Structure formats: structure tokens, C-alpha cells
Amino acid sequence: MSKEKMCGIQKFIKILEESGELIRVRETVDSELEISRITDEQSKSDGGGKALLFENVKGSPFPVATNLFGSFSRVSKALGVKSLSEAEDSVRALTKLSAPKSFSEFFSLAKKLAPLAKIGPRRFSGKTAPCQEVVETGDDIDLTTLPVLKCWPKDAGRFVTLPLVFTKPLNGGPQNLGMYRLQIYDKNTTGMHWHIHKDGAHYFHEYKAAKKRMPVAVAIGASAPVIYAATAPLPRGIDELLLAGFFAKEGVRTVKCKTVDLEVPADAEFVLEGYVEPDELRLEGPFGDHTGYYSLADYYPVFHVTALTRKFAPVYCATLVGPPPMEDCYLAKATERIFLPLLQSVFPEIKDYFMPWEGVFHNSAIVSIKKEYPEHARKLISGLWGQGQMSFCKSIAVVDDDVDPSDLGAIASLLAKNFDFERDTLITRGILDVLDHSAPTPLAGAKVGIDLTRPIDGEAPREDAEGLNFGPLEEKEKAVLLSAVEGIVNMRAAGAFLLLSLERRSRAGKEIMRALSEAAAAFAPRKFTVLFDDNIDITDTSKMLWKAFNNVDPSRDIVKIGKGIFIDACKKTPADGHTRPWPDELSHEH
């Protein structure tokens, strides 16, 4: 492709190559598991590794690009900034002009200010849009010619993992752009995996209630800001292409689809046009998901493809998700920074926040605030649970504004020295992401808020830590615990935390916790005792955090016995009262 024809994601790939952030893989590779295995290894490298361009893919004429956004440097380049802090500052500069309280107000302001008046989508004015240089309809459509990845060994098939899914409300309004995976069923149908809380599902239910067929268009590959915008948790009714235009500093050029009444980015590599029937569902999954586990098979709508359009020489774009850190972690960090100023416009007491990627986007947040009145932390926690994607957050900890929320060592120290379980814990129920497998029932479950701020006038004092054991693990203590609970594989003391890996067998977690507490009665109790399955390395802090954020239901798995707090981060079984299937952890070794 000539330089003049280079546009969209191919321009971004060229920028990455020129800056030394891209590896071309010229050997023949298989889109079934091999590309994913190589991508997984690269994404786990220091700093996220390199972007990858697989030039020769078995059974397909199209190259495959992966890990394009898998570093702080690359995701910053995608947004046209030098760092994510600069992206945050660019949003904050606008919020300070008139303090908009929502993204709708933010974009209304942005469109009024030159040169930002040009951020809205604009119709492509040329003769043939790049994404429609080749048009296939009817029997010519064959999705199996695309190098769609099978990502993990137990996946149900091949999945489009970086799709830009365009839908619109039944009765008019801005288009919606989301990212919902597509399982390839055959040459012209796929699954449409939009979760119940997503905008695409909301609009689908509008069409279903009206018994009307829903038009859908899916772009694969577009400009880097558009791909990011598809992942951003914007409020319903806000056109995600405005966010893409804001970072691109110009409006996204769109073109009308050939067979459905939707607009797609003119520089997309591929476009799948089609529809979803209101009453047609098909089993979709399992799929190796961003939680690091297989999401279970379930019934989702079917996407019928009526046209496949593309560039003459397109690049197929894909992402691989799984146990952190991976490419989606860096996209999530961009969202964390970009949305902070908007969150602060609603909660001005917030100084900063941090969402550890072990919490896989939605499971954990640590927030620093300027505390002003009694129970301020609890008020903020409740408020955050009512805000957009923060409503999925299973655990929120609040610290004072002189504490860096990203300093996990400082947070651990506050838990060790200051945390009082009865005083500082707020456990409630609310919605959960459909991928949360730890709750006894899907879509809803327990949440925990933790107040780690310093007490002020009007707040009860904390119970002191007198009598707790913060010392090393003595051999006598170790022997007593080993004799009390069979199946302990390893144990380690780390300050206030006693960490154990063990074989669960058929025992309930609470049974094991009670036995440990009774055995430890002869010693000063540990403040925290955390249980992990026997295959967990209890010296790997990141792995333990990932397990705790994913496997713990706060109302069932966090228990105080005496002065000790016990946390069960193991796989749950019916013995624990957990009757839902427990998903398998992802691995390329199956």
C-alpha cells in the first residue's frame, strides 16, 4: 500500500514500527492458539512488550496485528499524547472552564470551543471509502477467510476480539459504539456477546419489545482513538466518536453502510454489516476472558452478516485478554486517567484514585480524598457505587489525601496498623459484572467498602492492635497449624498477614477458618489470615491480589473470628454454598 493510501490503524502501526515498538513476525503462524500464545508471552514481557504484526497467517491472505495498545507508551501514542497524564490534563482543562457535571455537558462545551468545534463525526466525501474498496454480499460472504483467532485451548471456537460494534436506538438518537466479542459460527453468522448492562443490550431490548430486526455494523480496525473510544464507559446517548474526535483533534470520517442504515469509520480495515433478530438466541462461549478465567457458555443474540466490506489490503486487528497484565490493562489505565477529572467534577473531594489491574477493571478501586466531615468516606463509597462503571466495583477503599492510592505497600500498612473490621467495613449488595464468578448468583452480589482514613471529631475511635502478632512465623506455631488443618501446602507470614496455600478437598472455607482460629488460640492472633488454593505461589503478590479480587464474595468469604480477620480466596464449591459452575483458569498448557 502506498504512503498516500496509508490511513487509520495502518498509519498507527507504521508509527509504532518507526519508534521501535513493533515486531514483524514473518514466519508462518496459525491463528488457532499459536498467535495467541506468542502474544501472551510478549504482553507479559517488561512494560508490556512490543506490538506484533504477523505477516503470514496460515489459511488467510490477511496479516494480523496484536498487542497494539499493550504499553503506556503505545496507548499514549494512540491518544495523541506524550503520557496518560497529558490525556488527563487535557480533559481537566475543559472541566475547569465551567465544571461540566457529565460527559454530555463536557462534549457540549468542547464543541463550542475552537479548535474543538471540529471533533464531531464528518461524512467521508471521496468517491470510495477505504473500508468499501472491496464489497462482498450474499453467497460471496465468507467469514472463515478472516484470520480470526482461537485464543485459549478451551474456547468454543474463533472469536473476533477487537470489534467496533455500531448500533442505534430504535426511535432515533446518536449511534452507540461498543466492543462486544463475536464468536464465528459459520461463513455468515456470529454470536453477539453484549452483556445485560451494556448499551448494545439496552437497544436490543428496544427492538425486541417492538418485534423488529435490529441493524448492526461491526468495524474491525480503525484509527487508534476510535478503537480506544469503543472501550470507554461513556453514558448512554453520548456518541463515542466524539471522544475519538477529541483525542484525534478532528472529526472521525464516516461512511454509510451498504446494506444497513448505520455509519462506520471510513478508514476501517473490515466492516461486517447485518442484523440481529429479536427472538433468536444461540449458545455462545466459553471464552477465555479478561478476568483470567473462561466465561461460561450462555445464550446470546445471533448476528447475521449481509455484507463484508474491506480495504484492498487490510490488516486484521485482534487483542488477547487473560490473566493480568495484558493489553487491556493499559487501555483500562487510560480510562482511569481520562475519567478522573469527570469523577472529580461530581465528587470534588477526590484527589486521586487507583484501580489495580489485578482487579480486572471493575473489581477494586482505592480512592484518596480530602476528608471534611464524619463518615465522609462512607458517603463517598456509596456515591461511587451509583456512578456508571464504578457501580460494578466490588471493593472500594478510601484513604486520606496525603496517601498515594497506587502505593500498595502504604495501603497494606494502613490495613495492618489502622483497620478496624467492625468500624471501617461497609458490606452491602449491588450489581456485579456478569463475568464476576465469585458471587452465589450472577449479576448481583456483595460489595465491600473500607474506610482507611484518619478518624476526625464525630467519629468513633478504632480498636487498637494490641495483642496481635506481626512477627515471623515460628516453627511451633507452624506445627500447630499443620496439625489442625490437613492439606496445608505452604504458609508464610508477612507482617500482619498470614498466607496459606492448601488443598481444599471437600471442606467449606468457613470450616477451615474456624479450625485455624481455634488452633491459633495458643498464640497471639494474626490480624489477617488469607487462604489460597494449593497451586498458588504465596510469594507472588500480584497473583495473590488477582485471586483475592476475583474469588472473594465479601459477605461469604471475609470473616472475623475473635481479633483475627480471615479471607478465603480459594475456588468455591457447593460446600461453601456456591452452586454455580466455577470457571477454569486460563492457561496455554491445557
Q: CA distances (Å), 35 to each of 207, 282, 476, in order? A: 38, 27, 50
pLDDT value of residue 101: 66
User: Are 554 and 396 contacting, i.e. CB atoms less than 8 angstroms apart?
Assistant: no
pLDDT value of residue 562: 85
- 193-218 b/e (C-beta count within 10 Å ≥ 16 → b): bbeeebbbbebbebbbeeeeebbbbb
Q: Give the β-pairing of 444-451 and 425-431.
A: antiparallel
Q: How far apart (Å, rounded) are the C-alpha atoms in residues 13 and 153?
A: 28
Pure H helices in 160-301? 199-209, 224-231, 240-248
Reduced to 3 states (helix: H, G, I; strand: E, B; else coil), residue 213 is coil
pLDDT value of residue 2: 35
Identify the residue whose cell numbers are 464468536: 183
Q: At how many degrees (to 10) do helices 224-231 and 240-248 cross? A: 140
pLDDT value of residue 521: 75
What domains are defined for the chain? 14-65 (no CATH), 122-317 (2.30.110.10), 347-451 (3.40.1670.10), 475-576 (3.40.1670.10)
Reduced to 3 states (helix: H, G, I; strand: E, B; else coil), residue 211 is coil
pLDDT value of residue 111: 63
Report residue 191: phi and psi, to 5°: -80, 165
Q: How far apart (Å, rounded) are the C-alpha atoms in residues 557 and 496?
A: 18
Q: How far apart (Å, rounded) are the C-alpha atoms in residues 390 and 363?
A: 9
Reduced to 3 states (helix: H, G, I; strand: E, B; else coil), residue 294 is strand
Q: Give the β-pairing of 488-494 and 528-533.
A: unpaired
Q: How far apart (Å, rounded) are the C-alpha atoms in residues 295 and 289?
A: 6
Q: How far apart (Å, rounded) are the C-alpha atoms in residues 558 and 574?
A: 17
User: Are 223 and 8 contacting, i.e. CB atoms less than 8 angstroms apart?
Assistant: yes
Q: How far apart (Å, rounded) are the C-alpha atoms in residues 556 and 510?
A: 9
Active site residues: 289
Q: What is the mean pLDDT of each run of 10 residues along the chain (590 residues)?
A: 57 96 97 97 94 97 97 96 91 71 69 67 92 96 97 97 96 91 97 87 92 97 96 87 91 96 97 97 96 94 98 97 93 93 93 93 91 96 91 95 96 92 94 91 94 93 78 87 91 92 91 88 83 95 94 94 92 94 89
Q: How far apart (Å, rounded) are the C-alpha atoms in residues 246 and 237?
A: 17
pLDDT value of residue 336: 93
Among candidates 160, 190, 178, which has minimal Cα distance to 320? 160
pLDDT value of residue 97: 63
pLDDT value of residue 5: 41
Reduced to 3 states (helix: H, G, I; strand: E, B; else coil), residue 362 is coil
Helix (H) / strand (E) containing 277: strand 270-284
Helix (H) / strand (E) containing 554: helix 554-557
Reduced to 3 states (helix: H, G, I; strand: E, B; else coil), residue 425 is strand
Q: Would you say the C-alpha torsion 546, 177, 233, 52 has a positive or negative sign?
A: positive
The phi-psi region of residue 416 (left if phi > 0; otherwise alpha if psi is between -120 and 50; otherwise beta) is alpha
Cell of 114: 475552537
Cβ-based burial of 107 (10 A; exposed 0-12, middle 13-18, buried ≥19):
buried
User: Are 224 and 247 contacting, i.e. CB atoms less than 8 angstroms apart?
Assistant: no
